[in-house]
């Protein structure tokens, strides 16, 4: 308090000058319409800029919660898609019953760690066994496939990225329906390779590549990417097809983990068939 008093006393003449200047400006503005309009216009501009900066700052710090709400809404909408349900073939049902049964369930998760420039890349996500996550579940991004759950703890999961030497996901050309396997050669994280497509198939640059649905992991029709080039491998009878991934792996913030609600039943039938 003593220091404040000394400071005010030391600068008393300058402070008095500022006070008199403010009083003078106030009198001029209040008694002259032209100066008053100019002052109001200038003050509005300053106030607007301050409020704009404040709003931008608040919006920036609110992005996390906004993204969280958006991811929740997207997961809810994915659960309502027909591709997440299965048509039950039945001739008898109760009134107001539905022929459609939930087949796939989507839940969102935050990406805690993500690599995309190594030969074998992984993600760590913020949900685990307590939230119903288990191994061999599909993981999607906003724009395409991301990988498969590899290991699980109570609250976290590790995901093998599509950008991995062991990654091999069943995929197909959307237009023709011919199926192959999408993998990654370890070079450009934006480009994958669609293998085992016969050379007699008419493959065009720009063709869409989606999941085939032939495994118990990825639902059918999920976006993989776009054909960037297709070169026939001489003497092999197959194409070398380069696919530009639709998902940008360097911009992953939230992902969606897919639970196949009928997986146990599907695996039981497959095991009985193999036996």
Question: Which residue's entry shows tokens 């009134």?
Answer: 95
Is 224 within a domain? yes
Sign of the alpha-carbon dihedral angle for 123, 141, 80, 218: negative
Is 226 within a domain? yes
Is 272 within a domain? no
Distances in Å between the alpha carbon of 130 and those of 74, 259, 264?
Answer: 21, 14, 19
- Residue 175: phi and psi, rounded to 5, are -70, -45
Q: Which of 139, 230, 226, 215 is nearest to 170 (CA)?
A: 215
Task: Confirm if 168 and 181 have CB atoms less than 8 A apart.
Answer: yes
**What's the pLDDT at 169?**
95
Task: Confirm if 105 and 258 have CB atoms less than 8 A apart.
Answer: yes
Is 215 within a domain? yes
Give the burial class of 177: count Cβ atoms within 10 A of its Cβ; 0-12 exposed, 13-18 middle, 19 or more buried. exposed
The model's pTM is 0.66
Distance CA 212, CA 197 (A): 13
Domain range for 18: 2-61
Is 264 within a domain? no
Is 75 within a domain? no
Distances in Å between the alpha carbon of 170 and those of 162, 215, 239?
Answer: 12, 7, 16
pLDDT per residue rounded down to tens, the chain (275 residues) = 677 777 777 777 777 778 877 777 777 766 766 655 555 555 545 544 554 565 566 555 556 665 666 666 666 666 655 555 544 444 433 333 444 567 788 998 999 999 999 999 999 999 999 999 999 999 999 899 999 999 999 999 999 999 999 999 999 999 999 999 999 999 999 999 999 999 999 999 999 999 998 888 899 999 999 999 999 988 888 999 999 999 999 988 889 999 888 877 776 777 777 76
Total domain count, the chain: 2
Is 207 within a domain? yes
Q: Which of 38, 61, 84 is the last residue of a domain?
A: 61
User: What is the CATH number for 224?
Assistant: 2.40.10.350
Distances in Å between the alpha carbon of 128 and those of 27, 68, 111, 228, 232?
Answer: 68, 18, 12, 36, 43
Is 246 within a domain? yes
């Amino acid at each position: 308090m003593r220091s404040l008093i000394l400071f005010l006393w030391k600068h008393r003449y300058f402070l008095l000058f500022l006070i008199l200047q403010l009083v003078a400006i106030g009198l001029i503005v209040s008694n002259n319409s032209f100066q008053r309009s100019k002052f109001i216009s200038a003050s509005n501009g300053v106030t607007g800029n301050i409020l704009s900066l404040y709003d931008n700052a608040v919006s920036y710090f609110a992005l996390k919660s906004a993204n969280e709400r958006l991811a929740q809404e997207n997961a809810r909408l994915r659960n309502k898609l027909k591709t997440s349900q299965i048509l039950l073939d039945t001739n008898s049902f109760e009134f107001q019953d539905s022929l459609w049964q939930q087949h796939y369930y989507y839940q969102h998760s935050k990406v805690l760690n993500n690599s995309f420039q190594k030969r074998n890349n992984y993600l760590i996500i913020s949900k685990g066994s307590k939230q119903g996550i288990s191994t061999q579940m599909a993981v999607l991004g906003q724009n395409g496939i991301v990988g498969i759950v590899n290991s699980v703890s109570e609250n976290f999961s590790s995901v093998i990225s599509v950008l991995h030497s062991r990654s091999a996901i069943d995929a197909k050309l959307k237009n023709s329906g011919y199926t192959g396997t999408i993998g990654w050669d370890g070079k450009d994280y934006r480009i994958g390779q669609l293998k085992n497509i016969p050379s007699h198939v008419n493959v065009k640059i720009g063709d869409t590549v989606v999941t085939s649905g032939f495994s118990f992991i990825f639902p059918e029709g999920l976006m993989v990417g776009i054909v960037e080039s297709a070169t026939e491998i001489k003497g092999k009878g197959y194409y070398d097809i380069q696919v530009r991934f639709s998902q940008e792996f360097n911009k992953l913030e939230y992902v969606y983990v897919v639970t196949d609600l009928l997986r146990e039943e599907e695996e039981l039938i497959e095991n009985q068939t193999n036996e």
